[in-house]
Amino acid sequence: MPTKGTKAIFSGQRKKYTLFRVFEILNEFSDENHHLKHTQIKEKLSVLYGLNVERKTIRECIDDINYLGAPYGIEVYSEKNDGAFLLGRRFEKSEIGFLIDAVFSSKSIGQKQAQELTEKLQQFLSRYDKKTFNYIAKSGELTRTKSKQVFFNIDVLLEAIDKNKKIRFNYNRFYFDEQKNEKMKSRKLVASPYFLINNQGSYYLVCNNNYFDDIANYKIERMANIELLDEDIKPIKSLKGYENGIDIAKYANENIYMFSSKTIDAKIRIENEYIVSYVQDWFGGNARIYQNKTDGTIYADIHGDEQAIVYWCLQYGESIELVEPQSTREKIKEIVDKMTRKYI
C-alpha cells in the first residue's frame, strides 16, 4: 500500500505531467489566430491524455509556463473572454522556416533524414503553421547523397574534435576501373580533425592528412567507417602557413569551393556592373570593389584560394577578367586553351 510520502511524490509527478501536457496542447492547437478556452484545454487533456483536472489547475499551469518559459521567450497569452494561446515560442515561425529551408536545400543528407529532421523542427510550430511547410514532401526530388551515415559521421567527428584525437577512415571516390575502385575504397586514411564547414549544401571536414603538412578538406558524406584513435591530433600551428593558427570564418570565406590550394591576392576587371553583386555574394569581406575615376572601369581586389578563384573566373568569364597575378592568368589561359581545342 502506498505510503504518504509515495502519494506526495505521485502528486508532484502528476502536476509536472499535467503542466507538460497543457504546454503541448497550447503548442500544437493554438497560435495568434487560434485561441483555446480553458474548457477546450480541459477537454483535450481528458480526450488525448486521460487527465481530468479542474479549470483552476489549468490556470496554474499557464502561470507556471509563463514563469518557467520567460528566459526562453515562451509566453502564453490568456484572457478570460478571449481564451489562451502560445504567444511567444522557443523559435519564431520565420526562424523555423529558415532552418527547414536549410535542411530542404542541403544535399549532404538523404531524403529520409531530411524529412525526419524537418518534422522535428515542425514540432515547434502549431498544426496550423505546419501546413505552410508542406513542400518538404518534395525534398526527395533534389539531387541528394545516398549516404545514410552522415549524422553518425558528424557525431564521431565532433567527439574527435572535442577530445583532440586523430581519426582513421575510408574515403569513397568513384573510379571506372573496378580494381582501383575497390582498392581506394578499402584504403585507410588517418587525419587530425579541426572543424566542420557547411559549404554550398555539403558538409566538409577541415583536417590534416597524416602524410602531408597542410590542410585538407573531405566531404563528410563520402567518409565511412570512421574510428576514433587514441592519438593526439597534429597541432594546427605546426602546419605550413598556419603558424599563427586558423580563423575559421576567414578560411570558409577564402575557400568558396573547398579546394586546398594556396591563397592569393588577385585583381579582376568587371565588364558588366551586374556581376558586382555576385562578387559580393561569393567573396564578401574578402573583396574590395572600386571604380577607376578616369575611365569608369570597375575592379575588385579579392583574396582567396587560388584554385577556387580560377574556377570562379571561368564561371563568370564572359563578364570579368583576372588582371593579376600573372601566374594565375597563365593557369586560366591554359584551361581556356584546352577548352577551346575541344570545341573547334
Q: What is the pLDDT of residue 41?
A: 94
Backbone angles phi, psi at 284, to 5 degrees: 50, -125
What are 103-131's pLDDT values in tens digits? 766 666 777 777 788 888 888 888 888 87
Tens digit of each residue's pLDDT (9 = 90 or more) over 198-248: 777 678 899 999 999 889 899 888 899 999 999 999 999 999 888 888 888
User: DSSP assignment of 317-337, as one string?
Assistant: TTTEEEEE-HHHHHHHHHHHH
Q: What is the pLDDT of residue 198?
A: 77
**Is there a contact between 38 and 58 (Cβ–Cβ < 8 Å)?**
yes
DSSP state of 233: P
φ/ψ of residue 173, rounded to 5: -120, 160
H/E run at residue 114? helix 111-122
pLDDT at 261 (0 to 100): 66
* SS3 (DSSP) at 192: strand
Q: Copy the grid coordinates of residue 145.
A: 547523397
- Residue ranges of the chain whose pLDDT lies below 50: 1-10, 136-143
